[in-house]
């Protein structure tokens, strides 16, 4: 059996995370209308974004079940802040078109998590 590489990591401010492979990530985006209802800020070129934790739970509760739904709801419910941070692990995007202030929050949170835990 061949290992499937991770495609998305959804993290809270403590570094707790749920990692999805490409198929799971595509299914999540398809069943939640691209996570638009929970997105606070996003890179327009990749799937990196900031998600509102409460809105993510609402989206997942209103969508058909996903294998990762339970883990994502638990992550959002237990998050120490109102935001979760999604990192697109399959993209080499530099986020140059992500121009709103959310980019700075996302970049800071990811940098802090990498410094504390190692590569995410």
- Does the pTM surpass 0.75? The reply is yes
What whole-number percentage of the chain has pLDDT above 70?
93
Q: pLDDT at position 100, please?
A: 93
The answer to whether 86 touches 51, Cβ cutoff 8 Å, is yes
CA distances (Å), origin 116, targets 23, 85, 113: 29, 15, 5
pLDDT at 118 over 60: no
Look at the chain and report how many structural domains it folds into: 1
1 domain-assigned:
no
- Name the E strands within the chain: 6-11, 17-21, 39-42, 49-52, 83-88
User: Structural domain of residue 22, as residue ranges?
Assistant: 6-117
Tens digit of pLDDT for each residue in 66-107? 999 999 999 999 999 999 999 999 999 999 999 999 999 999
CA dist 12 and 56 (Å) reads 13
């Amino acid at each position: 059996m061949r290992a499937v590489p991770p495609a998305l990591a959804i993290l809270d401010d403590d570094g707790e995370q749920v990692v999805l492979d490409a198929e799971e990530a595509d299914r999540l985006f398809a069943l939640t209308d691209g996570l638009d209802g929970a997105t606070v800020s996003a890179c327009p070129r990749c799937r990196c974004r900031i998600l509102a934790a409460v809105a993510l739970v609402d989206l997942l509760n209103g969508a058909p079940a996903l294998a990762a739904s339970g883990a994502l709801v638990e992550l959002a419910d237990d998050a120490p802040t109102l935001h979760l941070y999604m990192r697109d692990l399959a993209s080499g995007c530099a986020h140059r078109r992500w121009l709103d202030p959310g980019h700075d929050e996302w970049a800071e949170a990811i940098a802090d998590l990498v410094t504390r835990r190692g590569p995410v």
